[in-house]
Structure 1
Amino acid sequence: MIKNKLAVFLVVTTTIFLPSSLIFSKTSSLKETVKTEEIIESQDFKSLNIQKSSLLTLSFKPLTHKEKKPVYTKIKQLTKKDSVKTMSFENLKELIACQLQVEDYDSALNAIKHAFNTSKDSNERKTLKLTEADVYFTKGSYKKAIENYTEFLDLYPGAKKEAEYALYKNIVAHEFKILKTDQDQTPTYDTLKLIDTYLAKGETYTTYRNEVKEIQHACNNKLYEHEVGIFEFYLHNKKFDAAQGRLATIKEKFIKKLPTIEPDTLQLEYRLASEQGLTERAETVLAQLATRFPTFTKTIALPEPKNNKRYVLQF
């Protein structure tokens, strides 16, 4: 799964004003999919008026040094007389848009926080909270992004499209925090819990359903590989009862979710029986594998033995 940390996401759910050089576009990658409902064009630094309830992905065109000059000039104009703390709300919004365009995310976040505290309009505050989460996501601060998406969902559970988007982006941010298969898989389980929440919405949440299911499959596969790693450790150290227990767990938890792994589990079972010297059992499993999966030719390479007992003792 491609993890493009450079893409800029901004969801606009109410009236907000942005400079003309922002590029509006539909995006197709897993991390960028947002449905565009309305596209409004503008020229120079005249304001863009995006109507309420419009859900957009704003992709920023990479700027050359020359192209950045007018944006920096506008930022200088906006901050010449007023600081962020004393600036009008409308100027704050324009400043935020300019700062995002030149990828000055830290300054934009500071301005967003002041704008959020300044505004008394619930729709404006809703937009700013979601924008704050998106900016953290864009700059790769996934922990802060998760905090803000979660806060948004707590504050605005009835926001419909925005809430669906926030939950989806929360799932993606969690996915970025997933560790390697030989490490703690708590982040993977946390991601799956959010996925269950999304899928439980049924027909209410459909915009990102395919992407969410793809992430779900990847998470289940990660957990499966994790369990296989523990099985391999036990098998290598001839802890056959523990290996048998892990194999039973793998079959119980993952075959229904990942049907294509069944021949792999039979190979694991064959290897376990062989290591135990249970020749008859091994031959039975091998015959079952040949009968049920005659085209299965995969050979599982033995992994490097994990001699560090902490790998298993943590589970």
Structure 2
Amino acid sequence: MTAKMQLPIPEHFDATKISKVWRVPYQQLAAEAKNWAKQHSIKPASSDKKQICLLIIDAQNTFCIPEFELFVGGRSGSGAVDDNLRLCEFIYRNLNVITTIAPTMDTHTAMQIFHPIFWINDAGEHPVPAATLITLEDVQQGIWKVNPAVADNIAKGEYLALQRQCLHYVQKLSDNGKFPLTIWPYHSMLGGIGHALVSAVEEAIFFHNMVRNSQALFEIKGSNPLTENYSVLQPEVLDSPDGFAIDKKNAELIDKLLNFDAVIIAGQAKSHCVAWTIDDLLTEILARDPQLARKVYLLEDCTSPVVVPGVVDFTEQADVAFQRFAQAGMNLVKSTQEMDSWVIGVGG
């Protein structure tokens, strides 16, 4: 196979703006992209012999900008900012070989099972976000109850049915060895600034769209009020106490990903949405053909775990998960490595 050299970083990219929110100048970028493709002899993605997908998980302001709701700082304190700098540079250097970019968008409204308004105690208080885990025992003992005021919007006023569903929910989390229900701050709110992609990442994705004539494959997740949805491939709980479906796995996206010759994964947070998406993908791979794991590449330096100093630190859990993925055949790589050194036949 003929190797393809990494490209230079375009002049429009400003590394000092990674942690800022700003408007992407689409029309200006589109014109620049046309010239960039011509200057570097970059062909449309439709001509790629090796179809390579970059799956970017939840690179949104809510997780990646320091002053926003759920900034993923990692142990360094600047995790997601540093990750996105490397991610943007990776996209620009490899524009000529990345066929498709698939960004996922965590998407929420106010009344969801993991937001404070959804739960209440006997004192009329809502759980403190980021500091409250609601266990099966908490719900069984009535320490936390579904807020009756949300039943009209969520369950057409059927409060007892909603309470039963939520008891079933925490029971399923417990039975399946999942994290207890975490109450998060209001985040990734649909229509809000926090929901948007980080501007620098959005800019890089749009530039790729224009240079390669490749449509970004956006995936929305997390809008079901009755379940968490860390993984883009399926929510945490799929059924009701009576066995009826309340949601389903994203079979269409799973098929799309596994049809690529290589899938590269980055994003936030390593310990939660990234790890659980990879875990679900691995489950599908093992059910179909374990050798498919070899086509998955995890950008270790473009993802960070959830760390709240003095409260929680998921670094070790994230590292253990990634080692398990590697043992299953997935590849742990760095964004600074030339893709020819780790994606087999990338230049073909």
Same fold by TM (over 0.5)?
A: no
Q: TM-score, normalised by structure 2?
A: 0.29
* Greater relative contact order, per chain length (Cα 8 Å cut-off, separation 6+): 2
By percentage of residues, which structure has more strand? 2
Say which one has the larger Rg. 1
| TM-score normalised by length of structure 1 | 0.31
